[in-house]
């Protein structure tokens, strides 16, 4: 009498199509955390592996930009800096803006940039946007150390007065990352069908910098246009940066309510749009 084999194989992972827009498996991201670490290391190493100055570019880029802004906007255009030294005022804005703009523009092209990888092997597609945000966070950390060096010098010279608000810096950086990632995920869905949007996004980000208080304090905007400025969720974050580290301008905790709500809403919406696009993007890329 032959005994039938009733053993049922159990699989570690089952790949199947998602039928619902809300079917986002965030637990899967934790399962692939080693891949996330590998991608972050790859981005950090490959970008500067064959350069002469290597990671020193992390310092050189913001420093040269700060000097340029100081000469053009501070000395030539004579823009107001709320009484803070010009060079540290512009560096505060540039340090935060560099992180936001780089994350946004890179995430917005994540499908086109990684199409060759996405078409060969399966892994949670959200790994790539997270890689971008974390990789650029390391770059931001290096530039932030440069900024702290200038803060220490001007504090010693008694030209600025940092305060206890500086301990909220991690929250500010997280909000900046969430907003950049959320907007980038939405734009990434659009660039899969319309390739020329990549050029428009780069131009749009540059224009958005002038709509944000990067080179000027929000207090210098005429009262008639203040309501327009307040629609920008980044305003409170830049105001915080200058107030906490330079003692310039004004800031209250309520200024973070709008950026916080905006960051949460735009991130959720971005993930949903990204989740829908990833199902069919290989047919359009």
Q: What confidence tier does 8 reach under pLDDT thresholds 50, 70, 90?
A: low
**Percent of the chain whose predicted confidence (pLDDT) is above 90:** 46
Please report whether residue 9 resides in a domain: no
Please report whether residue 20 resides in a domain: no
Please report whether residue 83 resides in a domain: yes
The torsion defined by the Cα of 189, 192, 194 and 196, in degrees rounded to 10, comes to: 110
How many residues in the chain?
Answer: 285
Give the range of the structural domain holding residue 34, as residue numbers without chain letter: 27-44+54-283
This prediction has a pTM of 0.86
Q: What is the mean pLDDT of residues 253-276?
A: 92
**Percent of the chain whose predicted confidence (pLDDT) is above 70:** 85
Please report whether residue 3 resides in a domain: no
The number of domains in the chain is 1
Tens of pLDDT, residues 134-192: 999 988 998 999 999 999 999 999 999 999 999 999 999 999 999 999 999 999 888 88
Please report whether residue 69 resides in a domain: yes
pLDDT in the model for residue 31: 83
More confident: 243 or 275: 243
Please report whether residue 19 resides in a domain: no
The set of residues, in sequence order, having a beta carbon less than 8 Å from that of 280 and lying 6+ positions away, is none
Tens of pLDDT, residues 44-91: 777 666 555 556 777 888 899 999 999 999 899 888 898 899 999 999
Please report whether residue 8 resides in a domain: no
The mean of the pLDDT values for the chain is 84
Based on DSSP, count helices (H) and strands (E) in the chain, helices before strands.
12, 0
Please report whether residue 209 resides in a domain: yes
């Amino acid at each position: 009498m032959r005994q039938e084999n009733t053993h049922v194989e159990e699989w570690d992972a089952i790949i199947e199509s998602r039928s619902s827009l809300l079917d986002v498996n965030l637990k899967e991201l934790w399962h692939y955390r080693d891949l996330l670490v590998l991608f972050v290391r790859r981005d950090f190493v490959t970008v500067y592996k064959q350069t002469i100055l290597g990671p020193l570019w992390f310092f050189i880029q913001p420093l040269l930009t700060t000097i340029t802004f100081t000469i053009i906007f501070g000395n030539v255009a004579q823009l107001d800096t709320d009484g803070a030294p010009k060079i540290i005022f512009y560096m505060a804005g540039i340090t935060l803006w560099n992180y936001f703009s780089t994350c946004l523009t890179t995430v917005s092209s994540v499908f086109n940039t990684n199409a060759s990888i996405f078409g060969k092997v399966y892994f949670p597609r959200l790994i790539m946007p997270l890689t971008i945000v974390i990789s650029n966070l390391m770059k931001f950390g290096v530039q932030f150390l440069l900024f702290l060096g200038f803060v220490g010098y001007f504090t010693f010279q008694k030209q600025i007065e940092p305060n206890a608000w500086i301990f909220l810096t991690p929250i500010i950086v997280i909000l900046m990352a969430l907003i950049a990632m959320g907007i980038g995920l939405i734009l990434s869905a659009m660039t899969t069908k319309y390739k020329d949007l990549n050029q428009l996004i780069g131009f749009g980000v540059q224009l958005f910098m002038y709509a944000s208080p990067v080179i000027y304090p929000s207090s210098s905007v005429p009262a008639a246009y203040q309501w327009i400025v307040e629609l920008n969720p980044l305003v409170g974050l830049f105001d915080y940066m200058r107030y906490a580290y330079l003692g310039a301008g004004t800031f209250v905790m309520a200024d973070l309510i709008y950026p916080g709500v905006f960051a949460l809403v735009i991130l959720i919406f971005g993930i949903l749009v990204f989740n829908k696009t990833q199902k069919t993007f290989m047919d359009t890329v």
